């Protein structure tokens, strides 16, 4: 199994590992149970989220990244298989109010702090980033930015002035990964950073003065960029505990990183230094071999949601577990979602969780109010 996941596809290092696995195995099955923890592991919390499914919405083919507008009213979904972005109206029963055509293999999204511009990374060599005007009802593409090879995760600085794009490159052909930094006021490329390896995801910490990169080269590790000097630090973090990372997010304060892996563990790291502070076994056992999707953290920093999408038995999974960060234990039972949940995204107000189900072409909407 490890060898399968080390192979890359043309579309995305992580999102299409399963496509490769399906091509190598004819015995993949659907597993909808077997992830619940023993009763004595259930965390106890006062008024935890209810975690009831509100609706499942059909979007495009192979949905990947999700982002929610700052006002919680609009949900954007990147459909990697249909070269589009679905726009969901959260105030109108999550109906698809628009479908925006973009470039080939869109996978990851970022939105400006004011919510007026959506950025969509499209896989390629070189890759492209589409800037969409979210203030107009037809969501027109207002600019196309040329990024590096195989652009993946992106983030806009807290002040809205710059867009950082992590370009994975292609290790098999010797193309090094880079980070493209764009001026959001005019779309010009300000600088291209050379962190080496395969930078995959980026989040801002230290009030935007630091950018943390998740690098998938080797067994995966963290890197740090000084956004004032545009220097990549020589120090790294998490390498001893982050094994074949699949996702990364931070808590609302930006002080802790939550990193999911291809096998079983959620790793917590100090966002400033990369020092590992905790590892949580989020599978029933270390023998489960569950691959995990992009995690999501509640605004109060109390709970983390972890998608289960694939396991060592070549089974597609379809659940999301919620864990108490303080105890490291699951709360209640996992929530049933669609096949191969790739990405979990919390709304800014913490009242709704959105899960992109890659092999169903759907998004599961979950009520996370107490």
pLDDT of 144 higher than 60: yes
Distance, in Å, from the CA atom of 197 to the CA atom of 217, rounded to the nearest integer, reads 5
Distance, in Å, from the CA atom of 124 to the CA atom of 147, rounded to the nearest integer, reads 9
CA distances from 30 to 23, 105, 224, 338 (A): 16, 25, 39, 11
CB 215 within 8 A of CB 202: no
CA distances from 215 to 87, 238, 360 (A): 30, 10, 28
Give the residue-averaged pLDDT of 26-55: 58
In this prediction, residue 38 has a pLDDT band, given cuts at 50, 70 and 90, of: very low
CB 105 within 8 A of CB 122: yes
Higher pLDDT, 209 or 2: 209
> Which residues on neighbouring strands pair with residue 154, listed in sequence order?
165
Higher pLDDT, 82 or 20: 82
Q: What is the pLDDT of residues 1-18, one digit of tens each?
A: 333 333 333 334 333 333
2-367 carries CATH number 2.130.10.10: yes
Residue with tokens 């998490």: 238
Listed in sequence order, the residues at least 6 apart from 41 whose beta carbon sits closer than 8 Å to its beta carbon are 329, 330
- 198 burial class (0-12, 13-18, 19+ CB within 10 angstroms)? buried
pLDDT at 79: 98
Q: Which two structure tokens, joined as six digits, stand for 83?
A: 């070269």
pLDDT at 299: 95
In this prediction, residue 46 has a pLDDT band, given cuts at 50, 70 and 90, of: low
CB 290 within 8 A of CB 283: yes
pLDDT of 43 higher than 50: no
| pTM exceeding the 0.85 threshold for the entire prediction | yes
Listed in sequence order, the residues at least 6 apart from 13 whose beta carbon sits closer than 8 Å to its beta carbon are 150, 152, 168, 198, 200, 216
Q: What is the pLDDT of residues 283-305, one digit of tens each?
A: 999 889 999 999 999 999 999 99
pLDDT of 31 higher than 50: no
Give the residue-averaged pLDDT of 140-163: 97
Q: What are the strands, taking DSSP E only, across 209-264?
A: 210-215, 221-226, 231-232, 245-250, 256-261
Q: What is the pLDDT of residues 347-367, one digit of tens each?
A: 999 999 999 999 999 999 999
Distance, in Å, from the CA atom of 101 to the CA atom of 128, rounded to the nearest integer, reads 13
Distance, in Å, from the CA atom of 206 to the CA atom of 5, rounded to the nearest integer, reads 33
In this prediction, residue 27 has a pLDDT band, given cuts at 50, 70 and 90, of: very low
In this prediction, residue 196 has a pLDDT band, given cuts at 50, 70 and 90, of: confident
CB 75 within 8 A of CB 363: yes
């Amino acid at each position: 199994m490890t060898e399968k996941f080390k192979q890359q596809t043309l579309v995305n290092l992580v999102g299409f590992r399963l496509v490769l696995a399906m091509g190598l195995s004819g015995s993949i099955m659907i597993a909808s149970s077997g992830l619940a923890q023993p009763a004595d592991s259930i965390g106890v919390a006062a008024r935890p989220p209810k975690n009831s499914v509100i609706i499942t919405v059909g979007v495009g083919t192979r949905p990947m990244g999700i982002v929610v507008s700052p006002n919680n009213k609009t949900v954007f979904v990147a459909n990697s298989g249909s070269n589009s972005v679905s726009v969901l109206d959260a105030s109108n029963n999550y109906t698809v109010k628009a479908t925006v055509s973009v470039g080939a293999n869109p996978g990851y999204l970022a939105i400006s702090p004011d919510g007026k511009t959506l950025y969509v990374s499209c896989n390629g060599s070189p890759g492209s980033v589409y800037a969409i005007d979210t203030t107009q009802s037809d969501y027109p593409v207002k600019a196309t930015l040329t990024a590096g090879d195989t652009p993946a995760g992106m983030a806009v600085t807290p002040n809205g002035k710059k867009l950082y794009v992590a370009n994975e490159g292609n290790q098999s052909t010797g193309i090094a990964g880079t980070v493209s930094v764009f001026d959001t006021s005019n779309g010009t490329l300000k600088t291209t950073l050379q962190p080496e390896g395969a930078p995959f995801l980026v989040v801002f910490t230290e009030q935007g003065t630091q950018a943390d990169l998740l690098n998938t080269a080797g067994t995966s590790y963290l890197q740090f960029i000084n956004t004032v000097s545009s220097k990549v630090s020589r120090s790294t973090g998490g390498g001893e505990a982050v094994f074949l990372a699949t996702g990364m997010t931070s808590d609302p304060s930006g002080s802790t990183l939550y990193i999911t892996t291809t096998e079983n563990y959620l790793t917590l790291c100090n966002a400033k230094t990369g020092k590992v502070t905790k590892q949580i076994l989020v599978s029933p056992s270390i023998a489960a071999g569950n691959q995990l999707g992009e995690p999501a953290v509640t605004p109060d920093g109390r709970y983390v949601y972890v998608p289960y999408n694939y396991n060592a038995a070549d089974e597609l999974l379809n659940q999301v577990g919620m864990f108490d960060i303080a105890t490291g234990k699951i709360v209640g039972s996992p929530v049933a979602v669609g096949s191969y949940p790739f990405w979990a995204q919390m709304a800014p107000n913490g009242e709704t969780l959105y899960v992109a189900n890659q092999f169903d072409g759907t998004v599961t909407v979950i009520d996370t109010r107490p």
